[in-house]
Structure 1
């Protein structure tokens, strides 16, 4: 359970990090971590006491921008604010770790994929759409290690979401996938 908070006090990034540390010290079971972290990520996303104007500064080359809010010295428990330019997004990708993502501002189309090939070729993957949702402020996208999704901002304004990872994705075996060619390659992002 999260540490008790007075209802009139904000749920701060520091509170969230303390809860992440406690939860991951109590269990290493991904389902349990995601179940317990999800409501806390929603609470922090809705509270917005951590939010700064700079988290809306975009990166036109990348199509999105990521800001590191917290990361443990061993690269675990990474928390990022990620914005998405209108009409842009990220191709199908995995994170190489568990992920809990909560909408902060705007709607982001999230498409989940199943990998349907036999995994015999390390540089190729065949994906099939499992489902698609439009995640609004406060909504959760939770993924276990190996889950694959893509993100797209169909709106006319910059969107923002709060991302929490078991390990910073730039320090995992993370891949992106090309739906047309089947190519699988490394996926690293610029983080401020």
Structure 2
């Protein structure tokens, strides 16, 4: 894992008490910020930059997005009392990237898992802890380094080239946290793996928690140039 200057994922989650505290969401979401992010990232990827540039420049774009908490529609910020939610916000038509809102109820966590593609994680609300893992000589998955704590506005990167296997959890046991994840593929359709510490693996495809997407393309109420 690597911090980005200016991480994951689904299958099993720890039970959480109900009801789940819901973080404050602006009454009217300014989706123009998400639209600009999607446009700028698409422009960046159009030039087919090397991965280090994608992580650095894309990370800077994501940091700008999560520096503001007025754009995520309430429907994509709702926690579930039993497991974390993965709301698709945008999927590139060419499959180059996807943007996902991860909503973590109190104490919810992923198993150890991989991604197989590059990823950027930006913290929007609350905080999350990401612990990297590596295999030892016996093939067991063991913690690698210290856990990374992400706070609002901070961005982290993962990929098979810099560290791709980790376990993520909500850093809070009494409140919801939300992070925005960007992946170099339609992540909900990617065949990936979760791992047990003994080295055994289980394949999975995460899918998404929602069936409708936020409308970020309606400009009828947007001032000229917005």
Deviation at 1:34, TM superposition (A): 0.4
Picking from 124, 133, 150, the partner of 2:167 is 150
TM-score after normalising by structure 1:
0.83
Picking from 103, 110, 130, the partner of 2:144 is 130
Match of 1:47, SS state, is: coil
Q: What is the CA–CA distance in structure 2 between the aligned matches of 1:148 and 1:189, rounded to whole Å?
A: 15
**Correspondences of 1:28-107 after superposition (within 5 Å):** 28-61=49-82, 63-107=83-127
Higher strand share: 1
Picking from 6, 24, 40, the partner of 2:45 is 24
Match of 1:31, SS state, is: helix
* Residues 44-87 of structure 1, C-alpha deviations (whole Å, 9 max, x = no match): 112234212222312344x2001111002343310011111111
Match of 2:111, SS state, is: strand
Question: What is the total number of aligned residue pairs between the two structures?
Answer: 176
Question: Moved runs in structure 1, 4+ residues, more than 4 A?
Answer: none
Pair 59,75 (structure 1): closer, same or farther in 2 beyond 3 Å: farther
Match of 1:80, SS state, is: strand
Alignment of 1:182 onto 2:199: yes
Q: What is the CA–CA distance in structure 1 between the aligned matches of 2:101 and 2:31, rounded to whole Å?
A: 18
* Residues 81-114 of structure 1, C-alpha deviations (whole Å, 9 max, x = no match): 1111111110111112100000000011111112
Q: What is the CA–CA distance in structure 2 between the aligned matches of 1:178 and 1:60, rounded to whole Å?
A: 24
**Is there any run of 5+ residues in structure 2 with no aligned partner, and where?**
1-29, 211-226
| Superposition CA RMSD, Å | 2.1
Pair 182,164 (structure 1): closer, same or farther in 2 beyond 3 Å: same
TM-score after normalising by structure 2:
0.71
Number of the residue aligned with 1:121? none
**Is there any run of 5+ residues in structure 1 with no aligned partner, and where?**
1-8, 119-124
